[in-house]
Amino acid sequence: MEHTMKAAVLTKFGGSDAFEMRNVPVPSVGPREVRVRVQATAVNPLDYQIRRGDYAEYVPLPAITGHDISGVIEETGADVSEFAVGDEVYYTPLIFGAQGSYAEQHVANVDLIARKPKNLSHEEAASLTLVGGTVWEAFETRAQLRAGETILIHGGAGGVGTIAIQVA
């Protein structure tokens, strides 16, 4: 018997009707990967931009999109020692070139995932991965901010802005 899962598959670019619920194969796990049962995901501006076709050249259809995951590890690859079956994790999948979060299960390289904080629900954790990563990249990588420095955040609204204010 083939193992399948349900996924919201983007079959065309457009509105919310561009998704179709399908049974698709459960992804296999490589040596440094884990398979996660998705407990929660989120919708970001990136998600609706992809859906409407803004990045059509990077998203061959049909595609499983989505960029936030909180879930529970169900399988680990042969070379994974950092995580175990049953661990609660959260992360942002690769943005282009890989399956996204709008599915019952997801496979990711262990370098992408982190343990979900125990004080956060899966819904709360899934709401933080893409926006939190965006803030971290902006502050740490691009601005190279250090403790004690001052930052001005213009238009601190939306997911990224509200997290940026709290982190700052």
pTM reported for the whole predicted model: 0.89
Could you tell me which of 151, 148, 117 has the C-alpha nearest to residue 132?
Answer: 117
Based on C-alpha coordinates, what's the Rg of the chain? 17
44: pLDDT strictly greater than 50? yes
- The full set of domain ranges for the chain reads 4-120, 128-168
Task: Convert the pLDDT of each residue in 101-130 to its tens digit.
Answer: 999 999 999 999 999 999 999 999 999 999
Mean residue pLDDT of the chain comes to 94
Predicted local confidence at residue 92, as pLDDT:
96
CA distance linking residue 134 with residue 66, whole number of Å: 15
Amino acid at 49: Q
Q: What is the CATH number of domain 4-120?
A: 3.90.180.10
Could you tell me which of 101, 79, 105 has the C-alpha nearest to residue 3?
Answer: 105
20: pLDDT strictly greater than 50? yes
